[in-house]
Amino acid sequence: MKKGLISLLVIVLGVIIFSIFIYMKSRQPFMQARDEAINIAKESTDLVTVEKFYWYNNKKSYFSVSGMNEKEEPIIVIVEQDGGKVVVLNPGEFISESVAKKIATTELKPKQILETRIGLEEGVPVWEVTYEQDNGKLGYYILSAKEGNWLKDIKNI
């Protein structure tokens, strides 16, 4: 009885350790992208404090970092994954993440909003709102970060 319990405990502990290892390995690309984007943003701009990181994928991939600059003003830095081209946005000129979520919620009435990311579509800043539809499938609502108007909606993924 004691040997069986010890064996079971060892197996459970092994599964837990293996699961943690797999989880950490799966997060590695995200963490590396985040660290590289922050470094590029800090080297290219006056970004001092990082508040959020976004990874936007569509026709091109972008890493975005929001935070505060040296003057303690809000700033968003978007870094193109291929080539490292940097675009700096003044958040005061664009709708906020919470406004983008609110617009998507009002327009779509989704089951739930899952995530929001900022990026560029053909050089234009956009918010991508990922949501769960009533049928359980995913959707992506993309709107202009400048005016908040609808650009495209991808459903039933």
Instruction: Supply the pTM of this predicted model.
Output: 0.79
Dump pLDDT digits (tens) for 84-140: 789 999 888 999 999 999 999 999 999 999 999 999 998 899 999 999 999 999 999
Q: How many structural domains comprise the chain?
A: 2
Last residue of a domain, one of 49, 68, 93: 93
Task: Give which of 133, 64, 126, 125 is closest to 105, Cα–Cα.
Answer: 133
Alpha carbon of residue 26 to chain centroid: 16
Last residue of a domain, one of 76, 93, 110: 93
Residue 127: the pLDDT is 97
Whole-number Å distance between alpha carbons of 149 and 34: 28
Residue 67: the pLDDT is 95
Task: Give which of 73, 82, 64, 85 is closest to 128, Cα–Cα.
Answer: 64
Q: Same structural domain for residues 12 and 83?
A: yes
* pLDDT greater at residue 32 or residue 52: 52
Q: Same structural domain for residues 10 and 54?
A: yes
- Give me the CATH number covering residue 102: 3.10.450.40
Mean pLDDT over 1-7 rounds to 79
Q: Same structural domain for residues 62 and 118?
A: no
Residue 33: the pLDDT is 80
Segments in 81-128 forming alpha helices (H):
97-108
Mean pLDDT over 16-31 rounds to 79
Q: Same structural domain for residues 56 and 16?
A: yes
Q: Is the pLDDT confidence value at 26 over 80?
A: no
Contact criterion met (CB below 8 Å) for 137 and 156:
yes
Residue 13: the pLDDT is 83
Whole-number Å distance between alpha carbons of 141 and 127: 8
Q: Same structural domain for residues 20 and 85?
A: yes
Domain limits for position 25: 2-93
Q: Same structural domain for residues 145 and 80?
A: no
Q: What is the DSSP letter of 30?
A: H
Dump pLDDT digits (tens) for 33-90: 888 889 888 998 999 999 999 999 988 999 999 999 999 999 999 999 887 789 999 8
Residue 10: the pLDDT is 80
Q: Same structural domain for residues 105 and 89?
A: no
